[in-house]
Amino acid sequence: MTFGTFMAPFHRVGENPTLALERDLELIEWLDDLGFDEAWIGEHHSGGWETIASPEVF
């Protein structure tokens, strides 16, 4: 059996974008250590504001 996770790309307005992305990457590393097989990061271009403009770059 394989496991994955989906992370919604929502971060608080005004939050330091570098710290927010570092926190997301750290969580993905923990999930990898726990044996998760994949992580999906969503993108919401219609939300008006978002830190991750492109998951491929992230």
> What string of pLDDT tens digits covers the 58 residues of the chain?
899 999 887 778 888 988 988 999 999 999 999 999 999 987 766 666 666 666 666 6
pLDDT at 47: 62
Establish if 12 belongs to a structural domain.
yes
For residue 2, being part of any structural domain is answered with yes
pLDDT given for residue 56 in this prediction? 67
Query: Where are the extended beta strands (E) located within the chain?
Result: 4-7, 38-41
Given a contact cutoff of 8 angstroms between Cβ atoms, the answer to whether 55 and 41 are in contact is yes
* pLDDT at res. 46: 61
User: Does the residue 16 lie in any domain?
Assistant: yes
Q: In angstroms, how far is the first alpha carbon of the chain from the final one? A: 27
Range of the domain at 26: 1-39+51-58
In-domain check, residue 3: yes
Distance CA(33)–CA(17), nearest Å, equals 24
Is 45 domain-assigned?
A: no
* Total domain count, the chain: 1
- Asked, for residue 46, whether it belongs to a domain, the answer is no
Looking at residue 15, its pLDDT comes to 87
DSSP 39: E
* Spatial distance between the Cα atoms of 11 and 37, rounded to a whole number of angstroms: 24
pTM (predicted TM-score): 0.71
> Can you give the pLDDT at residue 48?
62
Q: With respect to residue 44, please indicate whether it lies within any of the assigned structural domains.
A: no
11 located within any domain: yes
